[in-house]
Amino acid sequence: MKILGIDPGIHRFAVVLIEDQTVAAYRIFRPRGPDLGAKLKSLYESFTDLLEAWTPELAVMETVIYHRNVRAALTLGSARGVALLALYQKEIPVMELSPTRIKQALTGNGRASKPQVAYVVRQLLNFQEEVPLDVTDAMACALAVQRELKMQRLIGE
């Protein structure tokens, strides 16, 4: 199954395609534009083109988390909204997992640090390339769901 992991953001929007326990592709979008609207338009166009090219069967991203910085939360929400719109327009199912659930599924510790999660993800996927934590976060989303789906098949749910 081709699973798209997404780590949305307005400055860096990371996507990873995982297939059969392998990183098939990854990309970081850096939306450009003079204002938020222009950046979101750029992101939407680039992301929809990527969805057509990569043809994922399922997409995964973290659930919305509490932010002390309201402005950061709003821009993150805008980027998430663009992703959700594009995915639903392409009729690609979307799963959302809490950060704690993702960390627990991969490291056994729901409070693991980003570098700890990145280390485990790289080991599980045998991925040695140096990439930003945004990319390993997107990998973690996809890998956590892949492992959950595999477990459900094993126990017959």
Structure tokens at 83: 């992703």
State the catalytic residue, choosing from 45, 62, 96, 148: 62
Structure tokens belonging to residue 102:
């993702």
**Distance between alpha carbon 30 and the CA centroid of its chain, in Å?**
15
What DSSP element (H or E) covers 34? Answer: none
> Residue 92: which H helix or E strand, with range?
none
The string of DSSP letters for 42-61 reads HHHHHHHHHHHHH--SEEEE
Which is the catalytic residue, given 7, 52, 57, 96?
A: 7
Given 19, 57, 130, 134, which residue is catalytic?
A: 134
Indicate if 20 belongs to the active site.
no
Say whether 35 is catalytic. Answer: no
CB-side neighbour CA atoms (13 Å) of 55: 1
**For helices 133-155 and 99-107, angle between their N-to-C axes, nearest 10 degrees:** 70
Is 57 annotated in the active site?
Answer: no
Just list the catalytic residues. 7, 62, 134
